[in-house]
Amino acid sequence: MVTASEIMDRVIKKNPGEAEFHQAVHEVLTSIVPVLDRNHRYAKARVFERIVEPERQIIFRVPWQDDNGEIWVNRGFRVEFNSAIGPYKGGLRFHPTVNLGIIKFLGFEQVFKNALTGLPMGGGKGGSDFNPKGKSDDEVMRFCQSFMTELSRHIGADTDVPAGDIGVGGREIGFMFGQYKRIKNVFEGVLTGKGLNWGGSLVRTEATGYGLIYFLEEMLHPKRKTIEGMTVVSSGSGNASIYAVEKCQQLGAKVVAMSDSNGYVHDPEGINLETVKQIKEVERGRIKEYLKSHPHATFHDDWRGIWSIKMDIALPNATQNEIDKEAAEVLVSNGVIAVAEGANMPSTPEAVQVFHDAGVLFGPAKAANAGGVAVSGLEMAQNSQRVSWPFEEADEKLKNIMSNIHRSASEAAEEYGCPGNLVAGANIAGFIKVADAMLDQGLV
Ligand code: NDP
């Protein structure tokens, strides 16, 4: 039988230079060793070796013209990772740091996250090294149209259904949907995160952030705590962060800091979310502009410094590996009681270890931020039935899904001898669901 370390060595050798992908695979593999030991049929059928190899990887040229007539060439990606339990599903990221390794780590995580939601969705992820920051609406539209011209060959409502991620929000989804429809001559739910008057779902905009806080409440519940009255810090100031902060404030917590890639704003009186929404969602500006209307707040140009603030709850909602070992140690020494990951893989493995050793409640991204894709799954269901659920109904379904994810992760952790370890529990529960489907479907 091949050992876990042999599997890991092969993954590293076969996928050189893809550090984030190695990190994501290593975490899952470490968690599922007891599952492989107990159920030899998975090892015999080489399920893990198959799961780490994407079913399909598409890399393409995206040429586009800026407002001055100058031509630019970006690289587009779509990694269709696993379709054992449904059509590929996962977001598109537009950010200059995007490369194949980043998309593979995100796609790999997505496979297990989607399985945890209980909805029939496989895993995929895509994007481009295009930087939407500072571009005009027309430039973003031309880029999105060029990107979709190639992507449209590979996706479809029953094949692969992308959504947003960093740098891809309602504006970009709209431009891409329009181009898909023009090329294919079909109006179908090929993307999620659509506008409400053309097939979008209520609660999709809020889903990742609200879902994160519903999950956090589940984490606190066994300790007889709620977030009411707690001091919270949420990094980032995009979709995930804004709606996590909104739900925290609705539930009576005080959020004192948010950030972007230029730095963080600290407002000890409590962040005014309307100001942040105006800056980020309307003006597409920078977080430091918050000080113009709230001069008592302070701006710090080191975005990682946000974790040195004293807080009860940490919500990393910006990007991967934003909390390292040192930041985790500072958080622990300042008395943090819970960390819930809205961003994907925002804590390094060393940071997670620090939290576990200190008994800090830790909600891993795969489980805690699954609300976004869950409501995307609900959007797909509404599209295929040609119905539209009211806000309260979609929100209630989201709440139930987050509660079920917490329960499955907790039960799996318990069953495999690591009670309370939601990292292991989420990986095990997600893996078993996908692995069993793969076994049922033969050698695919
Ligand atoms: P947005 O583009 O809306 O916002 C991203 C935010 O994070 C911005 O404030 C951005 O700052 C900041 N950020 C991004 N990269 C960096 C970096 N390298 N250093 C510091 N700050 C950075 O994206 P989302 O809110 O959608 O995504 C945030 C995280 O949540 C990602 O990890 C994403 O994968 C995850 N996620 C999102 C889901 C969704 O439904 N939107 C679903 C599940 C997970 P700046 O503007 O300066 O770049």
Hey, what domains does the chain have and what are their CATH numbers? 51-189 (3.40.50.10860), 207-358 (3.40.50.720)
Q: Is 246 in the pocket of ligand 1 (CB under 6 A)?
A: no
Distance 319 CA to ligand 1 centre (A): 6
CA 156 to chain centre: 21
**pLDDT computed for residue 173 by the predictor:** 98
Pairing of strands 123-128, 313-315: unpaired
Q: Is 239 in the pocket of ligand 1 (CB under 6 A)?
A: yes
In a mutational test of the pocket of ligand 1, which residue from 299, 319, 379, 398 has the highest number of ligand atoms less than 8 Å from its CB? 319
Closest CA to 378 of 366, 391, 394: 394
pLDDT, position 124: 98
Crossing angle for the helix pair 349-357 and 325-333, to the nearest 10 degrees = 20
d(CA 370, CA 374): 6
**Residue 315: which of 264, 274, 378 has the closest Cα?**
264
Q: Are strands 88-94 and 160-163 parallel, antiparallel or unpaired?
A: parallel
Identify whether 280 is a catalytic site residue: no
316 lines ligand 1 (CB under 6 A): no
Which residue lies with its CA nearest to atom 22 of ligand 1? Answer: 261
pLDDT at position 227: 98
Q: Dihedrals φ, ψ of 161, to 5°? A: -125, 90
Check residue 1 and give its pLDDT: 75
* End-to-end CA, the chain: 20
- Per-residue pLDDT tens digits of the chain, which is 444 residues long: 788 999 999 999 999 999 999 999 999 999 999 999 999 999 999 999 999 999 999 999 999 999 999 999 999 999 999 999 999 999 999 999 999 999 999 999 999 999 999 999 999 999 999 999 999 999 999 999 999 999 999 999 999 999 999 999 999 999 999 999 999 999 999 999 999 999 999 999 999 999 999 999 999 999 999 999 999 999 999 999 999 999 999 999 999 999 999 999 999 999 999 999 999 999 999 999 999 999 999 999 999 999 999 999 999 999 999 999 999 999 999 999 999 999 999 999 999 999 999 999 999 999 999 999 999 999 999 999 999 999 999 999 999 999 999 999 999 999 999 999 999 999 999 999 999 999 999 998
| Cβ of residue 234 lying under 6 Å from some atom of ligand 1 | no
Q: What is the CA(165)–ligand 1 centre distance, in A?
A: 7
**Residue 211 CB less than 6 A away from ligand 1:** no
pTM strictly above 0.75: yes
**104, 125, 288, 433: the active-site residue:** 125
**Spatial distance between the Cα atoms of 55 and 390, rounded to a whole number of angstroms:** 36
Which ligand 1 atom is nearest residue 97's CA?
18
Ligand 1 atom 7: residue of nearest CA? 318
Atom 36, ligand 1: residue with shortest CA distance: 343
**How far does residue 181's CA lie from ligand 1's centre (Å)?**
28
Pocket test for ligand 1, best of 116, 130, 239, 401 (most atoms within 8 A of CB): 239
Atom of ligand 1 nearest to the CA of 342: 30
